[in-house]
């Protein structure tokens, strides 16, 4: 009788484990199934040794946009940021994350919310500049009063040709990988983080959290992985275009580098 109860308790766990293994295997095969995905994997050497900042937008006291069901922008961007960091790190890049948890970079008790947000942004930019990063990838979600808007869009600094090239490559991959994008044009902007970094910087709005359907998608781990892989693919294409004749010696880096303090 006791053995039967133990068996009944363990059986669901075993079944769940087996299903999980098959799901993970199928997910990986799906991402590598198309010729485009295989080409990205072939070109992934291009990001080896590159110093890349992954910036999950908002955090801490700043939740960012809030979806109809209460999902917070800062949580979505952090999850996608970690996934992107993993992909780039596996390809040999030295990846710097501006935050690894629900936190911002402002000093505690430093003033009003606006002052803290300014300090937070200034420190994110300063940290990237100090580390001489080669790219700055800032992840955000969009929001609008009308729920009809949907789709990802990538922004770059006005008059930055390298920023525009990076944005176009990432946007093309978002359209290809997500397959549901109606905001197909990259857009020049003059956001603070773009103006205060010394490297090509893009802001990737991965979807409209104000759209209930897209909010639900962005909360889905599989869709989050797709977003991260699309951004990763755009970065790989960016460096492979620039370095397809360069020989790169691969060094080993920690999966992600996190700023502990910024002075």
More reliable by pLDDT, 5 or 142: 142
pLDDT of residue 101: 97
**Which option is the CATH number for 32-243: 3.40.630.40, 3.40.50.2000, 2.70.70.10, 3.40.50.10310?**
3.40.630.40
Handedness of CA 58, 59, 62, 63 (dihedral sign): positive
Average pLDDT over the chain reads 86
pLDDT in tens, 31-50: 555 788 888 888 999 999 99
What's the average model confidence in pLDDT over 168-196? 90
Model-level pTM greater than 0.85?
A: no
Could you report the per-residue pLDDT of 191-212, keeping only the tens digit for each? 999 999 999 999 999 999 999 9
Question: What are the structure tokens assigned to 250, written together?
Answer: 């691969």
- Taking residue 59's Cβ as centre, other Cβ atoms within 10 Å add up to 26
**If phi over 0 gives left and psi between -120 and 50 gives alpha, with beta otherwise, what is residue 203?**
beta
Burial class (CB in 10 A: 0-12, 13-18, 19+), 140: buried
- Whether 15 shows a pLDDT value over 70: the answer reads no
* pLDDT of res. 258: 61
Cα–Cα dist 245/151, whole Å: 35
The pLDDT of residue 21 is 58
Enumerate residues 6+ apart whose C-beta is below 8 A from 44: 91, 92, 236
pLDDT bin (cut points 50, 70, 90) of residue 110 is confident
pLDDT at residue 3 greater than cutoff 60: no
Three-state SS for 196-262 is: CCCCCEEEEEEEECCCHHHHHHHCCHHHHHHHHHHHHHHHHHHHHHHHCCCCCCCCCCCCCECCCCC
Tokens of 51: 């110093």
Task: Give the pLDDT score at 248.
Answer: 47
| Mean per-residue pLDDT, 55-69 | 97
Per-residue pLDDT reduced to its tens digit, 218-261: 999 999 999 999 999 999 999 999 865 454 454 555 667 665 44
CA-only gyration radius of the chain, Å? 20
The total number of residues written for the chain in this structure: 263
CA angle, residues 196, 243, 84, in degrees to nearest 5: 55
Question: Looking at residue 118, what is its pLDDT?
Answer: 94
């Amino acid at each position: 009788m006791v053995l039967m109860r133990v068996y009944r308790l363990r059986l669901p766990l075993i079944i769940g484990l087996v299903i999980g293994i098959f799901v993970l295997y199928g997910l990986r095969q799906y991402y590598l199934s198309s010729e485009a995905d295989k080409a990205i994997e072939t070109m992934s050497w291009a990001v080896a040794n590159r110093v890349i900042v992954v910036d999950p937008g908002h955090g801490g006291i700043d939740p960012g946009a809030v979806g109809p069901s209460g999902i917070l922008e800062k949580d979505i961007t952090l999850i996608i940021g970690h996934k992107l960091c993993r992909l780039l790190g596996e390809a040999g890049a030295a990846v710097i994350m501006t935050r690894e948890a629900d936190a911002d970079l402002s000093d505690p008790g430093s003033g009003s919310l606006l002052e803290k947000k300014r300090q937070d942004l200034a420190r994110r930019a300063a940290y990237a500049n100090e580390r001489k990063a080669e790219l700055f990838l800032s992840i955000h979600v969009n929001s609008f009063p009308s729920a009809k808007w949907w789709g990802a869009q990538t922004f770059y600094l006005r008059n930055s040709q390298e920023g525009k090239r990076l944005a176009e490559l990432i946007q093309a991959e978002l359209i290809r990988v997500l397959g549901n994008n109606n905001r197909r044009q990259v857009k020049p902007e003059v956001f603070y983080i773009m103006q205060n970094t010394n490297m090509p910087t893009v802001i990737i709005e991965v979807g409209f959290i104000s759209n209930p359907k897209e909010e639900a998608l962005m909360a889905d781990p599989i869709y989050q992985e797709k977003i991260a892989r699309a951004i990763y693919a755009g970065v790989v294409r960016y460096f492979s275009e620039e370095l397809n004749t360069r020989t790169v010696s691969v060094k080993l880096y920690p999966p992600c580098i996190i700023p502990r303090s910024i002075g």
